[in-house]
Amino acid sequence: MRLKFLRPRIVADGLRDLARRKPAEAEEYFAQHTGEWTALASTNPHNAADILEVLTEPFAATLLQRLAPEVAGEVLNEMNPEASANLIPELSTDVAAGLIQSMTPDQAADILGLLNDEIQTDLLTRLDTAEKAAIVDLLRHAPDSAGGLMTTDVVSLPVGITAGEAIESLRRFHEELGNNLMYVYAVDADGRLRGVVSFRELFFARPGMGLDEVMVENPISVSTTTDREVVSELVQRYRLLAIPVVDSQHRLVGMVKIDEALEAVQAEATEDIAAMVGAGTEETVFTPVNTSVRRRFPWILVNLLIGMVEAVVILQFGGVIEDNVRIAAYMPLTALLAGNAGAQSLAVIIRAMSVGDLPPGRALRAVRREFIVGALNGILIAVVIGAGSALLFGMQTAAVFFIAILAAFFAAGFAGAGIPVLLRRLGLDPALASNIFLTMVTDIVGMGGFLAVAAVLL
């Protein structure tokens, strides 16, 4: 495999694709071409991170140890945090501590927060005092809060200096902070946030003008405890590149960058999808098997209990099924169609809640709307199936299908919209296993209602 005559970007993409499709062959290749691995990681840490995520953890750790600490730290940061955390136990403690030391405090905190207490404590004791203090401070905040998302590498200048002095200070900050130099925040003598300065206004200001004359006072900010969903909404609404984070005394402690806010939006959306079906909200493909089993089993048990309730309901109509065998064959159809309609309503409501389009005052209107949509779809489907079953089985069976499907769609539309609204009103996550409870309603109403109508009409 001769790659040295190709452009580095093409080589990196090719090796990443190879690792994704055939990880065993990729491991064999990198074992024989260590120089290409180190070159790839140095020039393209994104692809290097993608490669490490699909290789076996012991081999990935071996590749990581072949890199310079600063390069390895950058690659580790580009990986999924759980994947990074899974590699740490494969490294020697000294090597792992060196990698953590090479990362920024917010990057290091993301990984250390996923490690068990013993490993975390052992690594922290090997870090410089200043680095350790910054990481410990970040670990105090919940991962899904502004404090858990923020970086402490933020530019703040005293409000009393001039524009010329501010520009001179920025030259020094540029070397220290690099990509984190997005906004300049003005603070008072106690470190409290007073304003934010536009680079454009600062550049065109006369050197002798005070910083307070060119800053925007009382900028949009969040506290360390603000939920990441609110942070993301503010960043998007006001089109910010970053949003300042303050403590309870309104002192500037960090900022959340736009890329972290967007990742938070993605994480929130994927958590909602997982929660709807009872999977762990923080679970990924890198989560340990025993953890996944522990998170999923309770909801599978709930499913079992719901299934038993449905079985009891069906057993009450054993005589109807015995007398009308075709009823048993077509009975699941009602629940299937209603379940699909309910899932559509559920998805619309959960999405609206996720993006902030459904405040509590509008919830009942949304439920009513989804009920009407479900009812109208139910009428159309009931007419179609009723007409078909009338031709095949006669008017009595057609009436059973028509009434049962109509009732199931009414229930599905109401439940699909109402379950997440009810969960939110109870103070629970609206997406929390909503699909499981929806399935219970549509199955019981769909199959139980179908049999009840059949018992009356047939």
**Residues in contact with 23: Cβ distance below 8 Å, sequence separation at least 6, in sequence order:** 54, 55, 56
Of 278 and 376, more confident: 376
Asked if 223 and 185 sit in the same domain, the reply is yes
CATH number of the domain encompassing residue 365: 1.10.357.20
Residue 162 has pLDDT above 70, yes or no: yes
**Residues in contact with 391: Cβ distance below 8 Å, sequence separation at least 6, in sequence order:** none
Tokens encoding 380: 């159309």
Residue 380: per-residue pLDDT: 92
Residue 336: per-residue pLDDT: 87
Tokens encoding 382: 């009931």
Strand runs labelled E in 251-356: 252-257
Residue 124: per-residue pLDDT: 93
Asked if 316 and 446 sit in the same domain, the reply is yes
Contact yes or no for 306/440 (Cβ under 8 A): yes
**Domain total of the chain:** 3
Asked if 304 and 445 sit in the same domain, the reply is yes
CATH number of the domain encompassing residue 133: 1.25.60.10
Band the pLDDT of 255: cuts 50, 70, 90.
very high
CATH number of the domain encompassing residue 222: 3.10.580.10
Residue 121: per-residue pLDDT: 92
The amino acid at residue 390 is A
Last residue of a domain, one of 140, 171, 197: 140
Residue 281 has pLDDT above 60, yes or no: no
Helix (H) or strand (E) holding 222: strand 222-223
Residue 147: per-residue pLDDT: 94
Buried b (16+ CB within 10 A) or exposed e, 40-54: bbbebbebbbbbbbb
Residue 265 placed within a domain: no
CA torsion angle for 336, 340, 341, 342 (degrees, to 10)?
Answer: 100
Asked if 208 and 343 sit in the same domain, the reply is no
Half-sphere exposure of 198 (CA within 13 A, CB side): 9
Residue 140: per-residue pLDDT: 92
Average pLDDT over residues 121-141: 91
Residue 36 placed within a domain: yes
Asked if 293 and 228 sit in the same domain, the reply is no
Residue 355: per-residue pLDDT: 64
Residue 328 has pLDDT above 80, yes or no: no
Give the chain's largest Cα–Cα span. Answer: 96
Residue 387 placed within a domain: yes
Residue 121 placed within a domain: yes
Quote the mean pLDDT of the chain. 84
Asked if 26 and 103 sit in the same domain, the reply is yes
Residue 151 placed within a domain: no
Distance CA 107, CA 224 (A): 17
Band the pLDDT of 435: cuts 50, 70, 90.
confident
Residue 3: per-residue pLDDT: 47
Residue 275: per-residue pLDDT: 58
Asked if 18 and 88 sit in the same domain, the reply is yes
Asked if 134 and 188 sit in the same domain, the reply is no
Residue 267 placed within a domain: no
Band the pLDDT of 1: cuts 50, 70, 90.
very low
Residue 274 placed within a domain: no
Asked if 240 and 301 sit in the same domain, the reply is no
Q: Which of 135, 122, 56 is nearest to 92 (CA)?
A: 122
* Share of residues in the chain with pLDDT > 70 (%): 90
Residue 5: per-residue pLDDT: 42
Q: Which of 339, 354, 307 is nearest to 435 (CA)?
A: 339
* Share of residues in the chain with pLDDT > 90 (%): 26
Residue 148 placed within a domain: no
- Structural domain boundaries, residue 129: 8-140
Residue 271: per-residue pLDDT: 63
Asked if 414 and 351 sit in the same domain, the reply is yes
Tokens encoding 87: 């590699």
Residue 200: per-residue pLDDT: 80
Length of the chain: 458
* pTM of the shown model: 0.64
Average pLDDT over residues 440-458: 84
**Residues in contact with 380: Cβ distance below 8 Å, sequence separation at least 6, in sequence order:** none
Of 171 and 280, more confident: 171
Asked if 19 and 121 sit in the same domain, the reply is yes
Asked if 135 and 162 sit in the same domain, the reply is no
